[in-house]
Amino acid sequence: MTCEEFVSLLNDFVDSELPESMSSKFEEHYKICAGCREELRSLQSLMDMRAQLPKSMLPDRDLWPQIAAEIRRGEHSRANQVSFAKLRHAVHFARTSRWILRLALAAILGLMLILGAIYLSHRTSAPAPKPGLDSKHPLEIKRAMRASKVVANQKMGQVNQLSQAPESQVRDDKRLANFALACQCEPSPEITSLINKAWVTNKNITHLQRRKIFADALYQLACENAENFFLHKASLEAIAFPSGIIMAPEVIDRYGARLELYPNDPAAIYLFGYTLFGKDTPRMIQLMQQLVSDYPEFPWPYLALAKAYREVFYRNNNRATFYLQSFMNLCPKNPDPIPLLGGLEDPDFLAETVSRMRSNLAARTDIPSLLLYDRLWQLESAGAPTRQEMTRVQEKIKDDLNRLRSLGAADQPEVAELIRLGYRMIGAKETAFGLAQKDPSYMGRWDLVRMEIKDWNEKNPVPPHNAAAAKRMAYWEKRLKASDSWINRVPENPSLWILKLEALAELKNRPQAEFIEAARKSLALERVSEEPSQFSPEGIFWGSNILRLAMLCVERGVWLDQIPTLIEEGLEAAEKYSWKMASDLAGDLQWSFLRGRFSSWLKADEAWHSLAEAYLQLGRRDKADEILDYIEQGLTEFKSQLAKRQMGNKVNDLWLFTTQQQWMRDELAAREKRYIAARDRLTHPCKKTGVRP
């Protein structure tokens, strides 16, 4: 539950009109949000004050002349002058805004106190006030507020009719406040400090897990800090960093709901539009262009449009450059354009901008900005064609590394990884290796293993299939030993267990129990992992280690009857990942998903054929026939899907679409040919073996 939702439900909560599900969410938010707790307590305090007033507010008839005189004198007093229009405005806000709620109640209470003071001056004593209630728990607050509200309603009479003013004024004020904040080029020092402190303390989890926790923490901080625009923005950027990570549906829905609350708030429009990048980019572009037109002083839509116009399907270098320049005119000291500079065609503009961005970055110490050094170094290295210029770039990187290591942020795994990358870029691999050895975090251990694997593969190329058996055996024995050392460093990573299984699948002399134990461990880790497979033979991306595991089990001849289930599970996991990563940045969203599914099916098809071959060799022709049916179903489905797909209306997508479409047709033709051959062997086994069944 957000802070806006909490405030909007205050009256229903007091009236006991919330359903149980909403009440529990209300209380959960109350427990975690200090701002809303204070809001509820402040409201209770006002209600208690009203409840302490006398029940009868009408003086005796003989006192009215004196009261009228007091009121007339009050009308000429500046201190007691209250605009009826302002009172209407304030009371109207009470149901929709926390600040206006206070003003409205205070105004009403002030009026009652004036009348009460006049009345009490003609009495010898006033009724004793009712004792207040402890407000430590929202249920107690609700009871006290409800009792106070009943008393107040009896006293206020027709004054309560003032609360019927239009609600749009409240939201206009909220919109103006949010927009004024969002037009700044960077967050305040206090908000920057909150962003840095929100970085995850748990160092034994993966990079993606840390990013998710960081993004959730920033969103919660935004709710606790008056819906701060920069905290919301940082939360979304944490999810999308560095690029290519598409927003999950629940994130899009969350900011869509915020936009419904504040449909005229440019900040809310921007945040919602940002979530659409990659999922509904045309609408994102439309929203951002409208913001640029209506609010030219708002800097962030320019940057979002520059990002969109660098993508394949929407590429327009002139527009990208224009929007980048527009953003930099508004925010000349902001380093955020750095990731968008690669690939720009104007070399003079690029060189000048990179130089400016280096100066901008040198003044920043917040972690999100520091992580931009990676892109800056790549841009500077790409723009140094001569050895002399490259030497100057490396000297700059050395100075950057010394600065980064001197900052307290160097203890964060992401910054430590950036520092190691910098040393590798200047050729100081031993320094990077030594730093990784001293870093006990998951990212440090994983970085060390990646460096070790890269170095090992360069020194130990895979022997060709026609190499001597002894040479191949020696290679795989050495590979098995190396994989054990890598697993010892990062045992929780399922991809490292796949490397071990690849070696065990080749070493038929090793005990089968050793392979099965490693297979079970790999499968258990993969089922709880949220990240895709990271290693595979010859650089093939499998999408799910379960598909690769199924192939290796077939090669080793174990779990054959479980292989169909494993393939289906692996294919489902790969397709789920494909949909998560599917985007419209290189074409139609559904076409992107179809390509991803097809790539995953190709891996599954490899596993199906291997299993069918294994069953044929074992003489289990009925099982082989079942497996070939699976292959035929896949061929039929994708031939039908490909025939239905039509090219979109983007001209610059024509070449890409036709190229990808032809690749899919060629692959399907090759797979169909292989399937027909497998069917033929099943129907006429003597063609292969020379022996009748």
* End-of-domain residue from the set 431, 458, 485: 458
- Give the model confidence (pLDDT) of 317-361 as tens digits: 999 999 999 999 999 999 999 999 987 878 888 899 999 999 999
- Give the model confidence (pLDDT) of 175-227 as tens digits: 677 788 899 999 999 999 999 999 888 999 988 889 889 999 999 999 998 88
Residues 522 and 561 in one domain: no
Alpha carbon distance 302, 323 (integer Å): 5
Residue 415 covered by a domain: yes
Per the structure, the complete domain to which residue 382 belongs is given by 366-458
Structure tokens at 271: 């945040």
Residues 488 and 416 in one domain: no
* End-of-domain residue from the set 108, 140, 162: 162
- Find out whether 383 and 354 touch, Cβ atoms under 8 Å: yes
Count of CB atoms situated within 10 Å of the CB of 335 = 24
CA angle at 138 for the pair 135 and 141, rounded to the nearest 5°: 50
Residues 61 and 134 in one domain: yes
- Find out whether 149 and 47 touch, Cβ atoms under 8 Å: yes
Residue 616 covered by a domain: yes
Residue 304 covered by a domain: no
Output helix, strand, coil percentages for the chain, rounded to the nearest 5: 75, 0, 25
Count of CB atoms situated within 10 Å of the CB of 235 = 24
What's CA 286's distance to the chain center, in Å?
22
- Find out whether 21 and 123 touch, Cβ atoms under 8 Å: no
- Find out whether 80 and 114 touch, Cβ atoms under 8 Å: yes
Question: What letter does residue 649 receive in the DSSP assignment?
Answer: S
Overall average pLDDT of the 448-457 stretch: 94
Alpha carbon distance 138, 9 (integer Å): 13
Residue 211 covered by a domain: no
Alpha carbon distance 500, 518 (integer Å): 8
Overall average pLDDT of the 572-588 stretch: 83
Residue 176 covered by a domain: no
Nearest to 478 by CA among 466, 460, 452, 494: 460
Total-model pTM: 0.71
Alpha carbon distance 190, 225 (integer Å): 11
- Find out whether 498 and 490 touch, Cβ atoms under 8 Å: no
Residue 615 covered by a domain: yes
Alpha carbon distance 228, 195 (integer Å): 12
* End-of-domain residue from the set 432, 458, 484: 458
CA angle at 431 for the pair 425 and 435, rounded to the nearest 5°: 110
Grouping H, G, I as helix, E, B as strand and the rest as coil, residue 34 is helix
Residues 499 and 602 in one domain: no
Grouping H, G, I as helix, E, B as strand and the rest as coil, residue 92 is helix
In the predicted structure, residue 118 carries a pLDDT above the cut 80: no
Q: Is 103 exposed, middle or buried (0-12, 13-18, 19+ CB in 10 A)?
A: middle
To which residue do tokens 């790539």 refer? Answer: 599
Nearest to 420 by CA among 440, 399, 437: 437
Amino acid, single-letter form, for residue 131: P
Nearest to 253 by CA among 551, 2, 439: 2
Q: How far is CA 72 from CA 75, 312, 547, 569, 577, in A?
A: 5, 74, 87, 83, 74
DSSP string, 415-430: HHHHHHHHHHHTT-HH
What confidence score (pLDDT) does residue 158 get?
Answer: 36
Alpha carbon distance 544, 596 (integer Å): 12
Alpha carbon distance 265, 577 (integer Å): 34
Query: CB within 8 A of 341, min separation 6: which ones?
Result: 324, 350, 353, 354, 357, 375, 379
Grouping H, G, I as helix, E, B as strand and the rest as coil, residue 546 is helix
Overall average pLDDT of the 528-549 stretch: 67
Residues 685 and 562 in one domain: yes
Residues 127 and 47 in one domain: yes
What confidence score (pLDDT) does residue 156 get?
Answer: 41
What beta strand segments (E) does 42-154 contain?
none
Residue 358 covered by a domain: no
Alpha carbon distance 316, 506 (integer Å): 50
Structural domain total, the chain: 4
Residues 690 and 548 in one domain: yes
- Give the model confidence (pLDDT) of 654-672 as tens digits: 666 778 889 999 999 999 9
Q: Which is more confidently placed, 47 or 447?
A: 447
Residues 506 and 622 in one domain: no
Q: Is 473 exposed, middle or buried (0-12, 13-18, 19+ CB in 10 A)?
A: middle
What's CA 441's distance to the chain center, in Å?
22
Per the prediction, the chain carries an average pLDDT of 80
In the predicted structure, residue 430 carries a pLDDT above the cut 80: yes
Residues 451 and 472 in one domain: no
Residues 380 and 499 in one domain: no
What confidence score (pLDDT) does residue 31 get?
Answer: 61
Alpha carbon distance 317, 224 (integer Å): 40
% of the chain exceeding 70 in pLDDT: 72
Grouping H, G, I as helix, E, B as strand and the rest as coil, residue 142 is helix
What confidence score (pLDDT) does residue 542 get?
Answer: 54
Q: Which is more confidently placed, 37 or 318?
A: 318
What confidence score (pLDDT) does residue 47 get?
Answer: 64
In the predicted structure, residue 77 carries a pLDDT above the cut 70: no
Number of H helices, E strands in the chain: 33, 0
Query: CB within 8 A of 233, min separation 6: which ones?
Result: 271, 274, 300
Residues 556 and 587 in one domain: yes
- Find out whether 288 and 270 touch, Cβ atoms under 8 Å: yes
Residue 333 covered by a domain: no
- Give the model confidence (pLDDT) of 476-524 as tens digits: 999 999 999 999 999 999 999 999 999 999 999 999 999 999 999 999 9
Structure tokens at 395: 């000297």
Amino acid, single-letter form, for residue 354: V
- Give the model confidence (pLDDT) of 254-288 as tens digits: 999 999 988 889 999 999 999 999 999 999 999 99
Q: How far is CA 482 from CA 130, 423, 471, in A?
A: 77, 25, 17
Structure tokens at 253: 């829905």
To which residue do tokens 């003032």 refer? Answer: 162
Residues 513 and 557 in one domain: no
Overall average pLDDT of the 585-598 stretch: 83
